[in-house]
Amino acid sequence: MINHQDRLITATGLSRDYGDHRAVINLDVELRKGEVLGLLGPNGAGKSTTMQMLTGNLAPTAGEIHINDVDLLDEPRKAKQQIGYLPEQPPVYRDLTVSEYLHYCARLRNVPAAQRQGSVERASERCGLKDVGKRLIGNLSKGYRQRVGIAQAILHNPAVVILDEPTVGLDPIQIREIRSLIRELGQEHGIILSTHILPEVQAVCDRVQILNRGKTVFNNTLEGVESLEQVFFDLIFREAGEGQTEEAAA
Could you read off the pLDDT of 35-91 as tens digits, one per residue? Answer: 999 999 888 899 999 999 999 999 999 999 999 999 999 999 999 999 999 998 889
Helix crossing, 98-108 with 142-154: angle to 10°?
30
Domain count, the chain: 2
Residue 75: which residues within 8 A CB-CB, separation 6 or more? none
Q: Which residues contact 59 (CB under 8 A, 6 or more apart)?
A: 53, 73
CA 44 to chain centre: 16
Last residue of one domain, picked from the residues 106, 133, 157: 157
**Domain boundary, last residue among 137, 157, 177:** 157
Task: Looking at the structure, tell me whether residues 181 and 63 fall in a common domain.
Answer: yes
Confidence (pLDDT) at 43: 85
Mark whether 165 and 63 lie in a shared domain.
yes
Residues 60 and 173 in one domain: yes
69 and 171: one domain?
A: yes
If asked whether residues 51 and 25 sit together in one domain, one would say: yes
Residues 6+ apart with CB under 8 A from 34: 2, 6, 186, 187, 188, 190
Stronger pLDDT, 174 or 123, i.e. the higher one: 123
Which pLDDT does position 38 carry in this prediction? 94
Q: Is the pLDDT higher at 1 or at 115?
A: 115
- Residue 246: predicted pLDDT: 42
Question: The whole model's pTM is what?
Answer: 0.84
- State the pLDDT at residue 221: 85
* CATH code, domain with 201: 3.40.50.300
Same domain, 6 and 95: no
User: CA-CA distance, 103 to 122, in Å (whole number)?
Assistant: 12
**179 and 248 in one domain?**
yes
Q: What is the pLDDT of residue 67?
A: 96
Residue 101: predicted pLDDT? 97
- Pairing mode of beta strands 70-71, 83-86: unpaired
The answer to whether residues 141 and 227 belong to one domain is no
Out of 157, 178, 205, a domain closes at 157
**pLDDT at position 85:** 95
Ranges assigned E (strand) in the chain = 7-18, 21-32, 36-40, 62-67, 70-71, 83-86, 160-164, 190-195, 207-212, 215-221
pLDDT band at 200 (very low <50, low <70, confident <90, very high): confident
Asked if residue 34 and residue 21 are part of one domain, the reply reads yes
Do 37 and 141 lie in one domain? The reply is no
Q: Indicate if 75 and 165 belong to the same structural domain.
A: yes
Whether pLDDT at 234 is above 60: no
**Domain residues for 27?**
1-82+160-250
**Same domain as 4, residue 72:** yes
Under 8 Å between Cβ of 239 and 32: no
